[in-house]
Structure 1
Amino acid sequence: MGASSWALALLGFSTSRVPGQPRSIWLGVAAALGLAAMALGTVAWRRARPRRRRRRLQQVGTVAQLWIYPIKSCKGVSVREAECTAMGLRCGHLRDRFWLVINEKGNMVTARQEPRLVLISLTCEDDTLTLSAAYTKDLVLPITPPVTNPLLQCRVHGLEVQGRDCGEAAAQWVSSFLKTQSCRLVHFEPHMRPRSSQQMKSVFRPTDQVAYSDASPYLILSEASLEDLNSRLERRVKATNFRPNIVISGCGVYAEDSWNELLIGDVVLKRVMACTRCLLTTVDPDTGSTDKKEPLETLRSYRLCDPSEQALYGKLPLFGQYFALENPGMVKVGDPVYLLSQ
C-alpha cells in the first residue's frame, strides 16, 4: 500500500477508486489527506516526546586567573584566554605540561627533587620556543623538535609515556642550570599515546587522559580558599605555589569543594576529586628555595580528608579540586562561572 493509500485507510476512507471518477481527482484527495495525516502524526509525536528539563544556572564566581605550565614543575605562564581541550589548557603553541624534564633513566624530574626548576620558563613565539632563567642566557629552539631526534620512553609517577627529545642544546642548558644531575627535555606530540588518569586514581573515567600532568588536566582553586590559608600562615603564599589552571574569585571559602559541574562560556567542567598536596607546595615559586614545611604543615592541621575517604586520599591534605572536561571551548579572564544544577 502506497503512502497516499495508507493515509486514506488511516483516516477511514476506502482505498478503492469509485468507477467513473477521474484518477487525477482521486490522487489529489489522497495526497492532501496524506499530508494531513503526516502533520497530525508529527504533532502527536512531539506531544508524546518527553521534554528535556532545563538545567538551572547559578553564578558562583568569576575567572580571575588562567595559568599554563608548559614544562612540568617549571614556571607558569599567565594568559588572558585559553582553549579548554580534553588534555588541558592551550594558548597558541603553549600546552599545559606538554614538556618534561627527565633524568638519564627516563624518570620525571620535578621540583620535589629539584626546587630550582620553578625558575625555568618556556615561552613560544611564531615557530620558536625560548627557555629562560635568571642569570642564564636564553636558549632558542624550534617549537617542534626535528623528527630525527629520538623518541624516548619516559616515566611519570611510574607510568610509561613517550617524549620527543628536544636535543643536546636543551639538555645541556637544563643540566647546567640545575647543576645537580644530567637531564634532558622532552616534548609530547599529538600522535603519542597519553597517560590514563584512571591508572593514577580510579575515580577518573577511562576517557580522561593527560600528557605529563600528575593525574588531571584541570585544577581549580578559589581566591577565597587561598586567602583563608594565608590568614593562618606567618608567611603568605601565592596561587602559583599550588599550580592551578583556573583561579576563581567572588565565591565563598572552599566553595570549589562542592562544585560538581561548572559552565564557563561554552566550557563544561566536571569535578572528579580534591587535589592532594605534597612538598612541591613548599617551594617558593619566586626564589626556588624551600623550607619543606609550610604551607604543608598548616594544611595538615585543617584540610585532611574524612576518614571514610582515606583509601582515595591517604593522609595528605587537600587544597583545590581536579576537574575533567565535558564540553570544550574558550575561557577568558573575567568570564562568569556558573554552577550547573538539575
Structure 2
Amino acid sequence: MLSIASLHLYPVKSLRSLEPEVMDLEAWGARGDRRWVVVDADGIFLTQRKDPIMATVRVLQYPNGIVLQHATRPDLRVPFPDGGPIADVAVWKDMISARDAGDEASLWLSAIIGKSCRLTYMDAPASARPGHHAGHDFQVSFADGFPLLVCTTASLQDLNTRLKVPVPMERFRPNIVIAGAAPWEEDSWVTLRIGDVELRNVKPCSRCVMTTIDQATGTILHKGEPLRSLGAFRRQEGGIMFGQNALVVRGGRIKLGDPVQLSKN
C-alpha cells in the first residue's frame, strides 16, 4: 500500500523547509508554500543555486505572517504586507506582481545573503501567476513552475545505493513524499488520490546544482553529488530527473500516513 511518508513546506522560496504533519492543498499548491520570494535589486528571484547561504535561514509561520531565523541574527517577525508597495518580481520567464515586505526584512536578509535584496509576498495566488503545460491550465506560487513536487522514498533509496555518501530527501525539496512504491515507479503515475484530494502528475522534475547543497550548512560537502551519479542513469530529454511535478485537480487536507491510490500510464 502506498502512503504519505513526509510532507514538506517552503514558506519562502529557497529558504529552509518545514515538515508539517498536515497539509492543505489549494489550486496553486500547498497552503503557505512559496508565497514569499527574495529578490535582488532588479526584482529577479534569488535561490540557493547562486546563494547557497539561503539554506541556513529558517522560516516559521504564525497567523499573521512569518518569522525569519538565523544563527547570526535576532529573529525577525515579518507580517503579511497589508496594502504595501507592489513590486514586479521575475521568476524565470514570468513577471509577477507581489507586495514588498518592507525595509527591515530587506536589511535582515541582505546582511545574511551578502547582497542587497528584498522580501516580497504573493497576496493573490488565485490569479498572480497562471501556468500552462501540455493542455493543462493552472495557477502556481513562486515555485519554479508547478504547484507540487511528488517524490518517493524508494527512488531515493535506490539513488543512495549508488552514492558513496547517502543524501537525505531534503536535497530534492519535495512537497509530498510517498512510501511503498518500487524505485522510479512514479514515472508511470498519472492520477493520485489521497482521500478526497486528487493530484495529476504532469512532468518529471529536472534537477540542478541545488541537490548538491547541504541544507543544514548551505555548503557543498561532496562536489557534484548526487547530481553526477543521478545523471548516470536518470538523464532524459530535458535534464536529469528526480520526482514528478504535479497539479492539484481537487484540493483538500492530507496528512502523514494517508493511503494513496493511483492510476498509471
Same fold (TM over 0.5): yes
The one-letter amino acid of 1:325's match is: V
Greater fraction strand: 2
Q: CA deviation at 1:146?
A: 2.9
Greater than 4 Å deviation, 4+ residue runs: none
Q: CA deviation at 1:118?
A: 1.1
Query: Number of matched residues?
Result: 264
Decide whether aligned partners of structure 1 residues 256 and 184 sit closer, same or farther in structure 2, where only a CA change above 3 A counts.
same
**1:252-290 deviations in Å (ceiling 9; x for gaps):** 111111111111011111110100011111111111002
Which residue does the alignment assign to 1:97?
Answer: 34
Decide whether aligned partners of structure 1 residues 146 and 327 sit closer, same or farther in structure 2, where only a CA change above 3 A counts.
closer
CA separation in 1, counterparts of 2:204 and 2:40? 29
Runs of at least 5 residues in structure 1 that lack an aligned partner in the other structure? 1-58
1:150 and 2:85 aligned: yes
| RMSD over aligned Cα atoms | 1.6
Could you say which structure has the greater relative contact order, defined with CA pairs below 8 angstroms and 6 or more residues apart?
2
Which residue does the alignment assign to 1:222?
Answer: 152
1:75 and 2:16 aligned: yes
1:319 and 2:256 aligned: no
Matches within 5 A, 1:130-209: 130-142=67-79, 144-147=80-83, 149-179=84-114, 181-190=115-124, 193-198=127-132, 202-203=133-134, 205=136, 207-209=137-139
CA separation in 2, counterparts of 1:264 and 1:340? 12
Which residue does the alignment assign to 1:20?
Answer: none
Q: CA deviation at 1:130?
A: 0.7
TM-score (norm 2): 0.95
Contact 1:100 1:187 in 2 (8 A): yes
TM-score (norm 1): 0.74
Which residue does the alignment assign to 1:237?
Answer: 167
Contact 2:231 2:240 in 1 (8 A): yes
What percentage of aligned pairs have identical amino acids? 35
The one-letter amino acid of 2:36's match is: W
The one-letter amino acid of 1:317's match is: I
Which residue does the alignment assign to 1:87?
Answer: 28
**1:81-100 deviations in Å (ceiling 9; x for gaps):** 1111111112xxxx111000
Greater fraction helix: 1
Which residue does the alignment assign to 2:235?
Answer: 304
